[in-house]
Amino acid sequence: MKHSIITSLGLAGLASVSLVTPALASLSIDYVTVGDVGKAADTNGYGKVDYAYNIGKYEVTNAQYVNFLNATAQTDSYSLYNTEMSSYGITRANSSGSYTYSATSGFENKPVVYVSWFDAARFSNWLGNGQGSGGTETGAYTLTGGQTTGIVMVNAGAKVYIPSENEWYKAAYYNGTTSAYSLYPNGQNTITTADANYSRSASTNVGFYSGDPSSYGTFDQGGNVWEWNDAVRAGGRRGRRGGSWEGGNSDFLASSYRDANTPQTEFEYMGFRVASSELAAVPEVTSSFTLLGLITSGLLLRRRTKTLR
């Protein structure tokens, strides 16, 4: 069964996922399309992507992750739930074999945290495998033996996946209209706490800073929570970008700042968003390109180069 990916889900719809009976719930991801194919990288070498792709408009929320947990973690064999999540919006009930999960009232639309890179990979696999009873161990990523350590690269032809660093960077900082990169993900070279959630005491609902999207229409790529990407860094670490609510200044939100953690890391300020290669699922096309042009040029085929950095 083809997985459900639509773009009509607003912020109110995000919360409603948690109110549906878990066995019947269907999770939807709101995507934007990033085009401007073949544009040059930024001066620091990041942002060049030679294909069009979709990326989540928002960070994955507690309500969405609860949907995933109720479908896949009755026994939680892969430690997809961290008990620290109970303080940040997701609670667990019952015993192993019959675990159920719920989003805390008022926290449904906050970004899920205490998720490792492997949790994000399994979420991506599950989405790509059709949700519901879809598997978590194969798909975009091949995970063996309950793998929670080491480096796993994305498989060719992945449907839903953790964005590459270049994909994440382009969605955050590139403006197709001006053919220029901005320093911050609000399309500007300046930013304050009125524009993004940093130097604060907690996360906000995704999309809270509604007046400060990136040029492609994503939200919270600066601040709120750090987001995983698939860059491989020294010491077996995976990339993260964007800063978080607990950061003391705007430096962490800037395009010039890149960071990494071991892929099993789980913190109260770590989350993620997903990307997708299935452009047909997204009716609107943003920035300076047209869907017809992509179809005729054959650029709807996703072509990712796996690189180790």
In tens, the pLDDT along 176-199 reads 999 999 999 999 999 999 999 999
- Does 118 reside within a domain? yes
Q: What is the CATH number of the domain that holds 289?
A: 3.90.1580.10
What pLDDT score does 25 carry? 63
Report the C-alpha gap between 269 and 223 in whole angstroms: 10
Contact between 193 and 200 under an 8 Å Cβ cutoff? The reply is yes
What pLDDT score does 247 carry? 84
- Does 56 reside within a domain? yes
Contact between 278 and 51 under an 8 Å Cβ cutoff? The reply is no
Q: Quickly count: other Cβ atoms within 10 Å of residue 120's Cβ.
A: 27
Report the C-alpha gap between 263 and 151 in whole angstroms: 8
- Does 307 reside within a domain? no
Could you give the 3-state DSSP secondary structure of residue 120?
Answer: helix
- Does 143 reside within a domain? yes
Place of tokens 């599950």: 126
- Does 3 reside within a domain? no
Place of tokens 């990407």: 229
Low-confidence ranges of the chain (pLDDT < 50): 1-24, 281-309
Report the C-alpha gap between 143 and 21 in whole angstroms: 29
Contact between 125 and 80 under an 8 Å Cβ cutoff? The reply is no
Report the C-alpha gap between 295 and 301 in whole angstroms: 9
Q: What is the pTM of this model?
A: 0.85
- Does 2 reside within a domain? no
Please name the amino acid found at residue 119: D
User: What's the CA angle centered on 231, arms 229 and 232, to 5 degrees?
Assistant: 135
Total number of domains constituting the chain: 1
Name every residue whose Cβ is closer than 8 Å to that of residue 276 and which is 6 or more positions away in sequence: 5, 29, 31, 53, 54, 55, 159, 160, 161, 282
Residue-number span of the structural domain to which 130 is assigned: 11-297
Report the C-alpha gap between 13 and 192 in whole angstroms: 29
- Per-residue tokens: 305: 């180069």
What are the start-end ranges of the E strands in 18-113?
31-34, 53-56, 90-93, 100-103
- Does 65 reside within a domain? yes
User: What's the CA angle centered on 172, arms 168 and 177, to 5 degrees?
Assistant: 120
- Distances in Å between the Cα of 72 and the Cα atoms of 25, 113, 133 are 13, 18, 7
- Can you spell out the DSSP letters for 150-170? S--PPPTT-SEEPPPHHHHHH
- Does 6 reside within a domain? no
Contact between 44 and 173 under an 8 Å Cβ cutoff? The reply is no
What are the start-end ranges of the E strands in the chain?
31-34, 53-56, 90-93, 100-103, 160-161, 174-175, 180-181, 226-233, 237-241, 259-261, 270-271, 275-276
Report the C-alpha gap between 131 and 97 in whole angstroms: 19
Place of tokens 């939100």: 253
